[in-house]
Amino acid sequence: MLAFHVRLFAVNSYFIQTLFTSTLSILFLQALVASHADGAESEIWIRAAIIGSWTVSSVATGLIGFQRYQGTLVYLVVSDAGPAKSLVPVVASASVFAIAAFPLSLAVSIAIGLPVSVNSVWAFIVAVLVFLIGTTSMCLVIAALFVLTPNAIAYESIVAIPIVLLSGVFFDPTTIGPFGWITRVFPITSAVQILKHPEFDSSFGRELLISIAVSLVWLAAGFFAGRLALRAATRTGTLEMT
């Protein structure tokens, strides 16, 4: 089911456009700044990929509403598999497809001559998988929170920008003292740190465990909130289900 929804996601022109514009705009902006500095950082393409990936993932705010618009939501909810098993792949398809921001950013960076080196390729792959788990867990919560409004897609930018800034893409949370731990409420914060410094060491292991632990909390919250939201939506007819 997940593969099916990812394929549907991948052929939608809006989602494809979002992937390209959100990733490449940040990449070219950083490249422009680097051209007037002493040299380009090897993290430029990684930062662009992270921002692009999370921006695409944030469309989860309106994915359930999008299913309602297509007229398929009621069939997913009343299917034999149950609403949870039917809707989780729908929401998760956003974060899975969003990972395409990494190869996109890498390919374009190589094409325009930006440095793309990483300390450990295997550590980077693990970091991407941890980032995927984190974004998926957050998508489930976000989708549940916005399921009651038919205009959820209008809130994508509100969800995307603050979270990606607080996740430490442009700074290290440990440098802002005790306030840095507040950012750890997002599972992608620790994932971002190991993406920026992919190397198997004690710091990598610590951040990996933190990200997975927080992701599990978000996953549990997502399932709980999803059940409550769908129950409320069914009673009120918000999603045209009664």
pLDDT attached to residue 209: 94
Q: Is residue 241 part of a domain?
A: no
Residues 9-29 have pLDDT tens digits of: 888 888 899 999 999 999 999
Question: Is 242 part of a structural domain of the chain?
Answer: no
Name the amino acid, one letter, at 106. L
In a domain, 96, yes or no: yes
Has residue 50 got a pLDDT over 90? Answer: yes
Rounded mean pLDDT of the chain?
81
pLDDT per position as a tens digit, 62-97: 777 666 666 666 666 666 666 667 778 888 888 999
The reported pLDDT for the residue numbered 28 is: 92
Domain membership of residue 161 (yes or no) is: yes
172 confidence band (pLDDT: 50, 70, 90): confident
22 inside domain: yes
Residue 51 lies in a domain: yes
Q: Domain for residue 198, yes or no?
A: yes
Q: Print the SS3 string covering 23-43.
A: HHHHHHHHHHHHHCCCCCCCC
Could you tell me the residue range of the domain that residue 20 belongs to? Answer: 2-236
Q: CA nearest 119: which of 200, 206, 40, 199?
A: 199
Q: Confidence band (pLDDT; 50, 70, 90) for 237?
A: low
Sorted by sequence, the CB contacts under 8 Å of residue 213 that are 6+ apart come out as: none
Specify the number of domains making up the chain.
1
pTM over 0.75: yes
Average pLDDT over residues 223-242: 66
Q: Is 92 domain-assigned?
A: yes
